[in-house]
Amino acid sequence: MRELLPLLLIFWLLQGCNTDKASQEKQQEKQAKTSFADTTSVRHAKGFSIRYFDRYKIVSIKNTDSSARQDQYILLEKGATRPEEFPDAQVIEIPLKSMVAMSSMHIGLLEFLEAENTLTGLGSLQYVYSPAVNAMIKAGKVAEVGRDNGLNQEKLVEMHPDLVMTIGTPGAKKDSYAILKQAGIPVLANSEWIETTPLARMEWVKIAAALLNKEKLVNEKFDAIEKEYKNLSALAASAKSKPAVISGLNTKDVWFLPNGENYMAQFLKDAGADYHWGGTKGGGSLSLNFESVYPFALNAEYWVNVGFDKSDTRKSVLAMDSRYADFKAYKSGKMYSYNNRVNAQGSNDFFESGTINPHKVLADLIRIFHPELLPEHQLVYYKQLP
């Protein structure tokens, strides 16, 4: 028996450790339980995450200054006690009842979630496509608050929205909204532009859903669009050929083209096109001179993203540079741009609702490059230049 005592002691110690470990795991599991009936998960986006706890959510957004730092936000149910674990995080009471947006793209997020009535202010009222929001503006329900150096912080403090959603850009001054934060108005930086795929960009709508407690709706709609996008991409992959394509225009001796990891390059790839710069690294734009693009533009079968104005024509494009007449796509008239939905005030819906409708954008591009695959599809965002 004496010989067994050391073994028994070790067994008891191990059992104690296992019990402590099990207790810790049980406690962590308890902490991870959420009081929210519906949750959502992030599958494509790399720039943010959402975690759910008892009566609050944690949204972490990757900082755009290239550091590993993240900005955190506590989405706290009204009346709930702020958790102590995140002392540097901004608190946003949910669900939102009012929001001021600095970008028209944010209007698309609210439209997707059937929550346009949440909008009470915009950085600028000039570039809005949404008929519903334009009607709200006309009725005096949405105020203009300015942006950047022209931001009217005093007006915002007076309005006191539940949230101001800004554009997260590199080098943005963190103290630009100090007065708002002192007044208890949270400011959230939306940086969907950092994503490299259309579905990842669209997924930022899930942050808006978390703010509005609309996870059930966003899951249903996002999953349906994701499935449609993947089906369309598979359809394009079945095409027998991949036509060569160029994008953009030469502007002031610089031709800006999407880099290989730019979401537009992904669109072209998923639509079954051969884009010469599709293998380059980086998610921004390439800045090339005309001579570098010319050899590839000369024989490209299609030319997309040509111009922005709804009145652009082949003739007006040629007036910018006579060398365009050499391009195969110019000669054949296979020139297209995303200016099919531009209203009288010059607002382009491609930049407003296009982000949350990537399946429609992809269908447009497939119809352009492979008309035989989608013969019944009517172009939504794109149109052929006359």
Give the model confidence (pLDDT) of 87-112 as tens digits: 989 999 999 999 999 988 899 999 99
**pLDDT tens-place string over residues 137-163:** 999 999 999 987 788 889 999 999 999
Alpha carbons 181 and 246: distance in angstroms, whole number = 45
For position 116, what pLDDT does the model report? 95
Is the pLDDT at 368 greater than 50, yes or no? Answer: yes
- Number of C-beta neighbours around residue 274 at 10 A: 16
Based on C-alpha coordinates, what's the Rg of the chain?
25
Q: Which two tokens stand for residue 228?
A: 């449609």
Residue 14: predicted pLDDT: 46
How high does pLDDT run on average in the chain?
88
- Reported as a single tens digit per residue, the pLDDT across 272-299 is 999 999 989 887 888 899 999 999 999 9
In which band, very low, low, confident or very high, does the pLDDT at 302 lie, cut at 50, 70 and 90?
very high
Residue 314 predicted with pLDDT over 90: yes
* Mean pLDDT value across residues 207-218: 97
Average pLDDT over residues 237-243: 95
- Given a cut of 80, is residue 218 above it in pLDDT? yes
pLDDT > 60? residue 173: no
Whether pLDDT at 377 is above 60 = yes
| Model confidence, pTM | 0.87
Beta bridge partners of 144: 122
